[in-house]
């Protein structure tokens, strides 16, 4: 793990694994099934997994994500549209997925991919989920590659509803209506988190 990432995580109070089990680091070989492990854009995420593995979360649970763009989603409907844009200022990161025999099915990356099929835009990999049903996603291809997004379940799109409302097939870009940029990479995502005591 890079020194800057390690220092940042330590300064945030470290991470723990679900049920206080020992860490189960994930190899780049396992992750190569899901993304190009040689791309520098994924280095922070892969460093995290090779150090701590999945089923892990920040020990200090009161850290909140900070959205870019004043909390507006990546795709915004025009002002004259009947559809309202949902603004989210912050959210919970939650728990990272893992992969392999060391992990419960509920925290497995392959299971998460199946559950989110046709629910998140193409070229996105769900990497974590929080207790509210929201997901943290990594863009694995295209111009947004390496960036981290918050998928908000409360504004999940429906292709049939869109077709009924607008009389056309839902464009891929519109499927970003519930996706919020939270980091240029995982390091940036963590660095922008704010400690909010409840």
Summarize pLDDT for 16-72 with one digit per residue, the tens.
999 888 999 999 999 999 999 999 999 999 999 999 999 999 999 899 999 999 999
Residue range 180-189: average pLDDT?
97
Q: pLDDT per residue over 81-101, tens digit each? A: 888 899 999 999 999 999 988
Query: Which pLDDT belongs to residue 158?
Result: 87
Q: How confident is the model at residue 102 (pLDDT cuts 50, 70, 90)?
A: confident
Question: For 115-127, what is the mean pLDDT?
Answer: 95
What average pLDDT does range 67-80 have in this prediction? 95
Q: What is the pLDDT of residue 198?
A: 64
Residues of 40-64 as b/e, b for ≥16 C-beta within 10 angstroms? ebbbbbbbbbbbbbbbbbbeeeebb
pLDDT of amino acid 143: 95
pLDDT, average across residues 126-146 = 96
For 112, 140, 149, 184, the CA distances from 58, given in Å and listed in that order, are: 20, 23, 18, 19
Cα–Cα distance, 188 to 198 (Å, whole number): 24
CB 182 within 8 A of CB 66: yes
């Amino acid at each position: 793990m890079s020194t800057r990432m390690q220092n940042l995580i330590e300064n945030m109070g470290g991470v723990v694994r679900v049920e206080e089990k020992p860490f189960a680091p994930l190899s780049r070989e396992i992750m190569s099934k899901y993304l190009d492990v040689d791309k520098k854009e994924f280095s922070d995420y892969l460093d995290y997994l090779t150090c701590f593995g999945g089923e892990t979360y920040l020990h200090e649970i009161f850290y909140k994500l900070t959205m870019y763009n004043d909390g507006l989603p990546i795709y915004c409907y025009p002002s004259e549209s009947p559809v309202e844009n949902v603004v989210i200022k912050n959210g919970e990161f939650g728990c990272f997925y893992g992969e392999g025999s060391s992990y419960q099915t509920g925290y497995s990356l392959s299971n998460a991919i199946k559950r989110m099929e046709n629910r998140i835009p193409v070229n996105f990999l769900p990497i974590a989920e929080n207790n509210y049903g929201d997901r943290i996603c990594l863009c694995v291809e295209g111009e947004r590659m390496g960036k981290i997004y918050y998928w908000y379940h409360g504004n999940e799109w429906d292709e049939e509803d869109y077709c009924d409302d607008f009389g056309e097939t839902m464009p891929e870009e519109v499927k970003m209506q519930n996706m919020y940029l939270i980091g240029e990479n995982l390091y940036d995502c963590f660095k922008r988190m704010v400690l909010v005591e409840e």
